[in-house]
C-alpha cells in the first residue's frame, strides 16, 4: 500500500512538472531548444567577425571541433514561430515540412582554426531562410538553409 502511494505521488509530480514545462517530454522539444541555442539571437544585429567568434563559442559550437558554418537569426521567437505557419515546402532531405520566411541574419563561416581557437568571418543580411518545423503546434527544429 505504501509503495502504491509513493508511485502515485511520483506520477502526480511528473505530470505537474510536465504541465509546468519543467521537464522536456520529447525529442521534438529537445530539437526545438537546440534550434534556439544554435540559431536564434533576437537581442543583437551582429554582423562582425568578432560577433561570430564570441557567439559560436558562447553557444557551444566550437567544441569538440569548430562548426564550419552557422546562421544566427535576429528576430524574436514569435516571428520565427510564425514562419512555421507559412505553406509547406520541400526540405533538402525531400520531406515536406519546411517553411520559408525573410529575416535579418548573420552568417558565420569558419576561416581558420587551431586547437581551442576557432575563427569566423561574419556577414549580415536580410534574406530568405528555410526552417524545418515539427509538432501539432509546429515549432522550428532545424535550420535547412
Question: What are the residue numbers of the active site?
Answer: 39, 142
Cα 65 to the center of its chain, rounded Å:
19
Question: Sheet containing 69-73: which strands, arranged edge to edge?
Answer: 69-73, 98-114, 117-134, 139-143
Q: Which residue has the cell 514562419?
A: 83
- As given in the structure block, the three cell numbers for residue 135 are 509538432
Specify the residue for cell string 582554426: 113
Q: What is the DSSP string of 87-138?
A: PPB--TTS-S-EEEEEEEEEEEEEEEEETTEEEEEEEEEEEEEEEEEETTTT
Residue 45, SS3 per DSSP: coil
Amino acid at each position: 500500500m505504501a509503495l502504491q502511494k509513493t508511485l502515485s505521488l511520483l506520477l502526480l509530480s511528473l505530470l505537474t512538472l510536465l504541465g509546468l514545462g519543467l521537464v522536456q517530454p520529447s525529442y521534438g522539444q529537445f530539437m526545438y531548444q537546440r534550434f534556439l541555442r544554435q540559431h536564434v539571437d533576437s537581442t543583437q544585429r551582429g554582423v562582425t567577425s568578432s560577433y561570430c567568434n564570441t557567439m559560436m563559442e558562447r553557444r557551444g559550437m566550437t567544441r569538440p571541433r569548430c562548426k564550419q558554418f552557422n546562421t544566427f537569426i535576429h528576430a524574436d521567437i514569435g516571428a520565427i514561430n510564425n514562419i512555421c505557419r507559412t505553406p509547406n515546402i520541400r526540405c533538402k532531405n525531400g520531406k515536406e515540412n519546411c517553411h520559408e520566411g525573410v529575416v535579418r541574419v548573420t552568417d558565420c563561416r569558419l576561416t581558420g582554426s587551431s586547437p581551442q581557437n576557432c575563427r569566423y568571418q561574419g556577414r549580415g543580411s536580410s534574406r530568405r531562410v528555410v526552417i524545418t518545423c515539427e509538432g501539432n503546434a509546429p515549432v522550428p527544429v532545424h535550420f535547412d538553409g
